[in-house]
Amino acid sequence: MSVIAPKFRLGHFIKSITNDIFWIVVLITLIGIPVIFIVLFYIDLPVLDGELVTPFLAFTMLAHPELSIPLIDSFMNTDFFRIAIFPGFGFAALIAGSTIFVERKLLAKLQLRVGPFYCGKIEGILQLVGDGLKLLSKEIIIPAKADKPIFWAAPVLFVATAAAFVALIPVAPGWVVADVDVGLLAVFAVIGFFPIITVLSSWSANSKYPFIGGIRALHQMISFEIPLILSLLGVVILTGTLNLTEIVQSQTSYWWIIFLPIGAIVFFITMLAELERIPFDLPEAESEIVAGWLTEFSGMMYGLVQLGSYIKLYAFAALFVVLFLGGWNGFGVIPPTPPEIVDFGIQAGPISVDLPGIEKLTERTLNFSLINGVVWFVFKTVIVIFFILIPRGVFPRVRIDLLLHIGWYKLITLSFVNIFIALGLLYAGVLGPGGLL
């Protein structure tokens, strides 16, 4: 039985395009413009020529790219921009999504098979969008005997905890959501929530496979969190601070991985275990317990857990860069250029706007040190993520007894060796306050 494809009709095609344009214009007019006005009334607008910009003038400035520089600069310095866009959740989610796509292609090439290819013109780039739409449209099935409030809350708490982790990571000079003096302690406190959420989600499903996966995850995370914390004490000893920004600033001349390679190796291994990546993927061993503690999640609940997992992966990789690879420090990729003196007195219809101090404004908006810092930070983080992804296509899964032996004995011993090396460098006067270097 043959199926006849419908014929292409130009009239129907033009009608559908016109219909789409009509509804887009209606939605922008009835919803988009009022929302923009409401936002402009509630955000802090800049001061130009000694006068505060009104929401009506700001809306007019948005229609002119040459006039919107002050608004962009003002928006970039708001807490909302830092939390939701950069360097907060939006930036982390973008890197997480890119990591998912790159991991699929990388594993396909390592295992000599075809990865995402047919969806999208460039290496299957739209496969990620297709998977996201699939998770959004799939039905969420809740087990009949599950503890529903906890089961619903677990994916949201997982993503929120990963976002809190990201909020503590400094990306560039002055660009961090929460710059606290005890930033490293705050990181340990946030990491401690992941085992609790994992156990609660596996227990609330009231199913055997999730519960087995949750117990495995609890044993694994507890046995590896102790050497993870101990591996970072060497950096704290040599820097004398728990502030992550100050730790990055202490690596202007050299990186701590040069003097503390054992600590960096231990932290990297424990990081793989905390992320439940191969060879430490026992909590999600699909060949043994289906999907472990993720077995009963479906639809966007599963999607939220996966998003949180890859945001957590980015946060750990960024933390490794901050502690051992100098953070944003590096030679200038984009050389700073002196701002040109330009006459920005612009006539915009009946409104005349004069932008004073454009040199200072350009320097703030196009901060070359910020651009260089972000470039170096992203480059180093991508390299670390690459090394996190490689073991999945190379190593087999380790047994649970070997995993606990590695965590409780070998890694803790190496962590103490790293601490003794840091103390030796400190008391020998090589590093630390008043040291030779």
Q: 284 or 352: which carries more pLDDT confidence?
A: 284
Band (pLDDT 50/70/90 cuts) for residue 7 is low
Beta partners for 172?
A: 175
Dist. CA 321–CA 312, nearest whole Å: 14
Dist. CA 279–CA 130, nearest whole Å: 29
| Burial class of residue 335 (count of CB atoms within 10 Å of its CB; 0-12, 13-18, 19+) | exposed
Spatial contact of 350 and 234, defined as CB atoms under 8 Å apart: no
Which contiguous run of DSSP H or E holds residue 354?
strand 351-354
Beta partners for 348?
A: 351
Dist. CA 95–CA 89, nearest whole Å: 10
Band (pLDDT 50/70/90 cuts) for residue 294 is confident
Burial 77-104 (b: 16+ CB within 10 A, else e): eeeebbbeebbbbebbbebbbebbbbbb
166 has pLDDT over 70? yes
Dist. CA 130–CA 269, nearest whole Å: 33
Question: C-alpha distances in angstroms, 317 versus 264, 403, 412?
Answer: 12, 22, 21
Dist. CA 77–CA 72, nearest whole Å: 9
Mean pLDDT of 38-60: 71
| Out of 73-82, 242-251, 320-329, 415-424, least confident range | 73-82
Q: Which of 314, 300, 384 is nearest to 92 (CA)?
A: 314
| Burial class of residue 166 (count of CB atoms within 10 Å of its CB; 0-12, 13-18, 19+) | buried
Largest CA distance in the chain: 86
- CA end-to-end span of the chain: 81
Q: Which of 63, 79, 80, 62 is nearest to 71 (CA)?
A: 62
Spatial contact of 263 and 320, defined as CB atoms under 8 Å apart: no
Q: Which two tokens stand for residue 6?
A: 């419908």
| Out of 4-8, 125-129, 403-407, least confident range | 4-8
Could you give the 3-state DSSP secondary structure of residue 48? strand
pLDDT digits (tens, 9 = 90+) for 395-433: 777 777 788 888 888 889 999 999 999 988 888 887 766
pLDDT digits (tens, 9 = 90+) for 349-366: 444 444 444 444 444 445
Band (pLDDT 50/70/90 cuts) for residue 216 is confident
Residue holding tokens 């990620």?
128
| Out of 38-42, 370-374, 412-416, least confident range | 38-42
Dist. CA 14–CA 417, nearest whole Å: 72
Dist. CA 83–CA 179, nearest whole Å: 12
Residue type, 286: E
Q: Which two tokens stand for residue 435?
A: 């040291």
pLDDT value for 314: 93
pLDDT digits (tens, 9 = 90+) for 22-38: 888 888 888 888 887 77
Q: 69 or 380: which carries more pLDDT confidence?
A: 380
- Cα-Cα-Cα-Cα torsion 178, 179, 182, 184, nearest 10 degrees, comes to 80
DSSP E strands in 236-385: the ranges are 345-348, 351-354
Sign, CA dihedral 105-266-430-321, equals positive
What is the percent of the chain with per-residue pLDDT over 90, rounded to a whole number? Answer: 19
- Rg of the chain over all Cα atoms, to the nearest angstrom: 26
Question: C-alpha distances in angstroms, 14 versus 21, 27, 38, 167, 210?
Answer: 11, 20, 35, 47, 52
Dist. CA 186–CA 414, nearest whole Å: 24
Which contiguous run of DSSP H or E holds residue 413?
helix 412-427
Q: What is the mean pLDDT of the chain?
A: 79
Dist. CA 213–CA 217, nearest whole Å: 6
Dist. CA 143–CA 205, nearest whole Å: 7
Q: 79 or 122: which carries more pLDDT confidence?
A: 79
Strands 351-354 and 47-48: unpaired
